Amino acid sequence: KAGVTQTPRYLIKTRGQQVTLSCSPISGHRSVSWYQQTPGQGLQFLFEYFSETQRNKGNFPGRFSGRQFSNSRSEMNVSTLELGDSALYLCASSTREGGNTEAFFGQGTRLTVV
Amino acid sequence: GESVGLHLPTLSVQEGDNSIINCAYSNSASDYFIWYKQESGKGPQFIIDIRSNMDKRQGQRVTVLLNKTVKHLSLQIAATQPGDSAVYFCAEASGGYNKLIFGAGTRLAVHP
């Protein structure tokens, strides 16, 4: 079974630009979560989607948004990039509709804002 | 690979010894706990999980202990191997919807 796939792996953007990251979950998984990882703040929850609906959102500004498609693939978008948005963005997928269960992570997208 | 965390606490052990990594969690309402291993340049890898109705769970070479009274979680790795060298994160969740709150992480360094 293929794992969680994130594209692209690496990205360099300029301040003020916007970026879209993609995540394909494990086949059959309908929940997709996004996390930001930085050396200073660690791993922080961005949002979670299930059946194309955002069910939960972390404490990030509105510049961070996401969506999920009917095939469970998800994208996240960051608009008006700031230097502080440089981070590893991780996507995780899991099976359960309700309740928590193990989330499997992708390799991440390393975003550098210059 | 990229650094996961610049100033993480480090646990150094000899190959073959047992390792114990500790984690204090914050939310007394958390009902699900999970350990991840992250190697440089990779995403977190699931190790083991435990629900709040249990206090111990065992996997292959790993054991997780949960003490809800003091809000403490530990990961025990038996016969630690060089391949176990990585950063280990605990995470907690409550209320469903797969929102994980991660700890800061502990770097495990295994020496031959």
**Tens digit of each residue's pLDDT, chain B (112 residues):** 344 455 789 999 999 999 999 999 989 999 999 999 999 989 999 999 999 999 999 999 999 999 999 999 999 999 999 999 999 999 998 876 678 999 999 999 999 9
Calpha distance A75→B12 (Å, rounded):
39
Mapping DSSP onto H, E and C, the string for chain A reads CCCCEEECCEEEECCCCCEEEEEECCCCCCEEEEEEEECCCEEEEEEEEECCEEEEECCCCCCEEEEECCCCCEEEEECCCCHHHCEEEEEEEECCCCCCCCCEECCCEEEEEC
Whether the CB of A48 is below 8 Å from some CB of chain B: the reply is: yes
Q: What stretches in chain A show pLDDT beneath 70?
A: 1, 96-100
Report pLDDT for B3.
42
Residue of B2, B43, B105 lying closest to A106 (CB–CB): B43
Mean pLDDT over the full length of chain A:
93
CB contact under 8 A, A103 and B104: no
- Encode A1-31: b = buried (16+ Cβ within 10 Å), e = exposed: eebbebeeeeeebeeeeebebebbbbeebbb
d(C-alpha A73, C-alpha A4), whole Å: 10
The residue of chain A with its CA nearest to that of B96 is A99
| pLDDT of amino acid A99 | 61
Is A9 near chain B, with CB under 8 Å?
Answer: no
- Say if residues B107 and B8 touch (Cβ distance below 8 Å): yes
Is residue B89 within 8 angstroms of chain A, CB to CB? yes
Task: Answer whether B34 touches A (CB < 8 Å).
Answer: yes
Task: Specify the pLDDT at position A54.
Answer: 94
Instruction: Supply the pLDDT for residue B2.
Output: 41
Residues of B in contact with A103 (CB under 8 A): 34, 46, 98, 100
B102 touches chain A (CB under 8 A): yes
Mutate which: A32, A43, A49, A102, vs B, most B CBs within 10 A: A43
Q: Inter-chain contact A42–B103, Cβ cutoff 8 Å?
A: yes
Q: Is the Cβ of B105 closer than 8 Å to some Cβ of chain A?
A: yes
Per-residue pLDDT, B6 = 56
Q: Which of A4, A90, A100 sits opposite B32 (nearest CB)?
A: A100
Q: For the segment A13-42, what is each residue's pLDDT rounded down to a tens digit?
A: 999 999 999 999 999 999 999 999 998 889
Q: Which pLDDT score is estimated for A96?
A: 64
Report pLDDT for A89: 98
